[in-house]
């Protein structure tokens, strides 16, 4: 079941695993850094367009970010696997 809080936790986790700052992710998405903080804290939701960008950027299924699965499946196969 979807919740802004779970989406935010998973977004923060993915961003930190990539070693990105909120500023860097904000620049990639074309938003202000405080909007990334609001998403990560569960106070703001993402648009469908931004969700698609996040999935491509982190190579992760939308199902995982949306909390519909706990398995972080990649969108595209990782080369060498």
* Tokens read off for 66: 């949306």
Low-confidence ranges of the chain (pLDDT < 50): none
> What is the per-residue pLDDT for 78?
63
> What is the per-residue pLDDT for 80?
61
> What is the per-residue pLDDT for 47?
94
Nearest to 60 by CA among 68, 49, 71: 71
**The whole model's pTM is what?**
0.89
Contacts of 2 (CB under 8 A, 6+ apart): 66, 67, 68
> What is the per-residue pLDDT for 54?
97
Residue 22 lies in a domain: yes
The count of domains in the chain is 1
> What is the per-residue pLDDT for 75?
80
Residue 52 lies in a domain: yes
Give the CATH number for residue 43.
1.10.260.40
What is the phi-psi region of residue 73: left when phi exceeds 0, alpha when psi lies from -120 to 50, beta otherwise?
A: beta
Range of 18's domain? 4-65
> What is the per-residue pLDDT for 79?
64
């Amino acid at each position: 079941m979807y919740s802004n809080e779970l989406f935010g936790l998973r977004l923060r986790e993915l961003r930190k695993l990539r070693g990105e700052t909120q500023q860097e992710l904000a620049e990639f998405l074309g938003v202000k850094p405080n909007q990334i903080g609001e998403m990560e804290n569960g106070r703001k939701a993402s648009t469908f367009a931004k969700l698609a960008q996040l999935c491509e950027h982190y190579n992760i299924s939308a199902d995982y970010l949306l909390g519909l699965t706990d398995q972080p499946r990649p969108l595209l196969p990782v080369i060498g696997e």
